[in-house]
């Protein structure tokens, strides 16, 4: 089926290596136009990707000039891609669409989880990359942890006291803009906290979050099943 696609001007001709592949992409409102090649190879596949991370659709677009045309017509054909090729494409798109905005907004969730679970940031980040999920969205964090064999318990703000004996993730959001959230890790028995922003330096700061422009949200504890 023929498609007319429209380039997002500030997001075009971006390149990134991934596990033996070179991926160059043009971001269109309707999806992504991808040039995929093995590292060191002059031969590339032109692939159109749309849909969602959960249900991506891939199509071959041979003969298309990949020169960043603002508006163009394509006619994707059925294509078979290996698992590795699909992973290279989707992981690269995830990095640009999900992870880059997170690094700008703040990586508090990844940094807090790695300390909470005593894991490396690379392992935790790879969970979300592989699952194509957003670590800044609590529901996606919970689902990812459960799939990795962790038991997750959630309470409202009252969980801050109820989970006193556990390491716990404390969610907060800005009073002026509730779309902007933040996560702080509190250690067992309130002996210490970790805040990637260094805004909250001790447990008492969380109790008085209101004076710092934040409201307490839900509290999570995470334990291995």
CATH classification of the domain holding 177: 3.90.70.10
Q: Which of 76, 104, 132 is a domain's end point?
A: 104
> Domain check: are 99 and 117 in the same one?
no
CA-based nearest residue to 48, from 11, 82, 79: 79
* DSSP 8-class letter at 7: B
Q: Which of 80, 104, 128 is a domain's end point?
A: 104
| The pLDDT value given to residue 167 | 94
| The pLDDT value given to residue 149 | 96
Rounded CA separation 24/89 (Å) = 9
* DSSP 8-class letter at 127: H
| The pLDDT value given to residue 15 | 86
Domains in the chain: how many in total? 2
> Domain check: are 32 and 113 in the same one?
no
170 SS3 class = strand
Q: Which of 41, 72, 104 is a domain's end point?
A: 104
> Domain check: are 121 and 210 in the same one?
yes
Contact 101, 135 (CB under 8 A): no
> Domain check: are 79 and 34 in the same one?
yes
> Domain check: are 217 and 117 in the same one?
yes
> Domain check: are 128 and 194 in the same one?
yes
| The pLDDT value given to residue 76 | 92
> Domain check: are 89 and 185 in the same one?
no
> Domain check: are 90 and 155 in the same one?
no
Rounded CA separation 136/99 (Å) = 9
> Domain check: are 82 and 128 in the same one?
no
Domain that residue 32 falls in: 3-104
> Domain check: are 33 and 117 in the same one?
no
> Domain check: are 67 and 95 in the same one?
yes
| The pLDDT value given to residue 53 | 94
| The pLDDT value given to residue 146 | 97
Mean pLDDT by 10 residues, the chain (225 residues): 82 82 92 92 92 95 76 90 96 92 91 96 95 94 96 91 90 86 93 93 89 90 90
Alpha helices in 82-195 (DSSP H): 83-94, 100-105, 108-116, 121-131, 138-147, 159-162
| The pLDDT value given to residue 40 | 87
For residue 28, which phi and psi values (nearest 5 degrees)?
A: -110, 160
> Domain check: are 153 and 219 in the same one?
yes
């Amino acid at each position: 089926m023929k498609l007319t696609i429209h380039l997002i001007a500030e997001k075009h001709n971006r390149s990134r290596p991934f596990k033996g592949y070179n991926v160059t992409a043009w971001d269109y409102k309707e999806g992504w136009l991808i040039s995929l090649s093995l590292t060191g190879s002059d031969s590339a596949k032109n692939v159109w990707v749309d849909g969602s991370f959960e249900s991506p659709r891939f199509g071959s677009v041979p003969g298309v000039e990949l020169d960043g045309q603002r508006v163009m017509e394509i006619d994707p054909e059925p294509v078979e891609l290996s698992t590795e090729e699909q992973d290279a494409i989707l992981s690269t798109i995830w990095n640009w669409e999900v992870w880059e905005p997170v690094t700008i907004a703040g990586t508090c969730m990844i940094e807090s989880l790695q300390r909470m679970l005593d894991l490396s940031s690379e392992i935790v980040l790879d969970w979300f990359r592989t699952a194509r999920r957003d670590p800044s969205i609590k529901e996606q964090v919970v689902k990812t942890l459960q799939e990795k064999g962790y038991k997750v318990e959630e309470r409202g703000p009252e969980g801050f006291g109820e989970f006193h004996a556990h390491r716990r993730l404390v969610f907060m959001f800005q009073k002026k803009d509730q779309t902007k959230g933040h996560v702080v890790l509190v250690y067992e028995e309130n002996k210490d906290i970790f805040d990637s922003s260094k805004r909250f330096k001790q447990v008492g700061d969380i109790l008085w979050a209101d004076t710092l422009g934040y409201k307490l949200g839900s509290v999570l504890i995470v334990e291995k099943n």
